[in-house]
Amino acid sequence: MTLSNPGWPVNLNHGDVSVRPFKRSDAARWSELRRANEAWLAPWEPGTGTTWHEAHSPAAFRAMLRGLKRSIKDGTSWPLAVCWQGHLCGGLTVGNIVRRAFGSAYAGYWIDRGHAGKGITATALALVVDHALTVGRLHRIEVNIRPENGPSNRVAEKLGLRREGLHKRYLYIDGDWRDHYGYAVTAEEIATERMIDRMARLARTEADH
């Protein structure tokens, strides 16, 4: 753990799901996943000014990782690989970390389409939010999702994130300024029950029925 970025590095796991820092050796797998998932991911992500293929090459990953290392050193980001049974299948970033009186950050995530629907993203987000609001010494995590993105909204709702409202024309994505739902959770809200424990409890309840 560093003084400028408490809570980092992050290595977490629950069952078959694990979360860890990205590394240079992830370049080929990351590129393969991102390129294969263009139709699945592009409608929900800001553009890069280049083609999707160019923006998601192994070289682009290595350049991105160099930039992310600077943000880690500055204490403003946690770029994380999401893995299923040890294999990279997605990503989760805690970004725009602001300390002191604000104590807040944003979380964003993506998952390979072939791994969607397995509860991987929800588990990874639960693990990371629990860590960020305890060991990471943050007070609040926000997640912003387009209303049309049903799977991503279900992740936030499954974890019981509080929907605070609709941010009109919030981000420029896919050729226009897009509305986003704003979700949030604070340290006080997980003080009595961590998100990962809530997931386990709900899963047991569903199994009983």
pLDDT score at 140: 97
pLDDT score at 199: 84
pLDDT score at 3: 61
Give the DSSP per-residue string, the chain. --SSSTT-S--EEETTEEEEE--GGGHHHHHHHHHHTHHHHGGGS---SS-HHHHTSHHHHHHHHHHHHHHHHHT-EEEEEEEETTEEEEEEEEEEEE-TTT-EEEEEEEE-GGGTTSSHHHHHHHHHHHHHTTTT--SEEEEEE-TT-HHHHHHHHHTTPEEEEEEEEEEEETTEEEEEEEEEEEGGGGSSS-HHHHHHHHHHHHHH-
Residue spans of the domains in the chain: they are 12-208
Residues of the chain with pLDDT under 50: 209
pLDDT score at 198: 86
Pick one of 3.40.50.2300, 3.40.630.30, 3.20.20.80, 3.40.50.720 as the CATH number of 12-208.
Answer: 3.40.630.30
Mean pLDDT of the chain: 92
pLDDT score at 201: 82
The pTM for the full model equals 0.93
pLDDT score at 48: 78
pLDDT score at 28: 97
pLDDT score at 207: 59
pLDDT score at 18: 98
